Amino acid sequence: MPDQPYDALCIGNAIVDIMARTEDDFLVGNGLIKGTMHLIDAERAETLYAAMGPAIEASGGSAGNTAAGIASLGGSAAFIGKVADDALGTFYRHDMTAAGIAFATAPLIGGAPTARSMILITPDGERTMNTYLGACQDLGPDDIDRATVAAARVTYLEGYLWDPPAAKEAFRRAADYAHEAGREVSLTLSDPFCVDRFRDEFLELLRSGTVDILFANDSELRSLYKTGSLDAAIEAVRHDCRLSAVTVGADGSIVVEGGDVTRVPAVATDDVEDLTGAGDLYAAGFLFGLARAMSREDAARLGALAATEVIGHIGPRPARSLEALAAEAGFRL
């Protein structure tokens, strides 16, 4: 077990992001729904890659982005995710370890290639993701290291991980190890379509106490409770989960804990280049704040600051030190 515990262990899909700017007409012409994540096969991945414009490659994946955000804040993070023993897998592992993130998951040898996501960014900064999961789908329970889970103050799991059956078992094993060690488990709902696929299972995770901390945006939370009313969804999750952090775009976020509902404003900005990673970096700031015993409101403020940084440039990870940015904003980390 590491000498010092990790602020968070992030478990999710290890994906190389391939990002390109595009127009809304391109999405319509290719049958894509703006702002959502589409799971695609290898053939569709090749077709979209050939059709999209000039691209930038970067290590991504929801949980990986959150780990990178925690590291940028000066925190300690570990990551569990599956890459292949190929060029993209080597690229991904280098990016993670260079950021100071512990990443020891064994690569997949002789199977599917490393996952990649074609991210199409429209002029309004919205991103539409087309993801080929590849090696991600081979993440299994044997990849979950008990000592690493026990060393993390919180284990953070992405909802996208609930798609592959073996990864689902890995998810449950990680939660069991965390609770056995007296640690907390958090979940991000990831995407409204992901919620539609697994609504009953996600609700069971909350109501059974498998998940202690929930992250969602307003669309995901309303989808979870099949309501058009955010207030109704907030009232429902208040009874189902001990602590929830719900982002509401430019209106900031709402922290729900028992009878306490706290609204925290966003960090004002006119510089929106790419919304990729906004929710992931919000979670990074919030989790780091909790790990450092900040108030719920200050943790949400730190999350908002991290999210604002990442939407100001193309790419899902911080382009400047979040630790320095937080210090400038008056946080005492």
Residue 155 lies in a domain: yes
Total domain count for the chain?
Answer: 1
Residue 333 lies in a domain: no
Report whether pLDDT(266) > 60.
yes
Report whether pLDDT(1) > 50.
no
Q: Which of 81-85, 117-121, 147-151, 311-315 has the lowest mean pLDDT?
A: 311-315
Report residue 58's pLDDT band, with 50, 70 and 90 as the boundaries: confident
Residue 331 lies in a domain: no
Report residue 155's pLDDT band, with 50, 70 and 90 as the boundaries: very high
Report whether pLDDT(80) > 70.
yes
Report residue 326's pLDDT band, with 50, 70 and 90 as the boundaries: very high
State the DSSP H helix or E strand holding residue 154, giving kind and residue range, or none if neither. strand 154-158
Q: Is the pTM of this model over 0.75?
A: yes
Mean pLDDT, to the nearest integer, of 42-54? 89
Query: How many other C-beta atoms can be found within 10 angstroms of the C-beta atom of residue 154?
Result: 20
Two tokens at 189?
């709902």
pLDDT at 2: 44
Its domain, for residue 69, covers: 8-320
pLDDT at 204: 97
Report whether pLDDT(292) > 60.
yes
The percentage of residues in the chain with a pLDDT greater than 90, rounded to a whole number, is 78
Residue 330 lies in a domain: no
Mean pLDDT, to the nearest integer, of 245-269? 94
Residue 297 lies in a domain: yes
pLDDT at 135: 94
Residue 3 lies in a domain: no
Residue 112 lies in a domain: yes
Cα R_g (the chain), whole angstroms: 18
Angle at CA of residue 40, ends 50 and 228, nearest 5°: 120
Q: Which CATH number characterizes residue 81's domain?
A: 3.40.1190.20
Residue 261 lies in a domain: yes
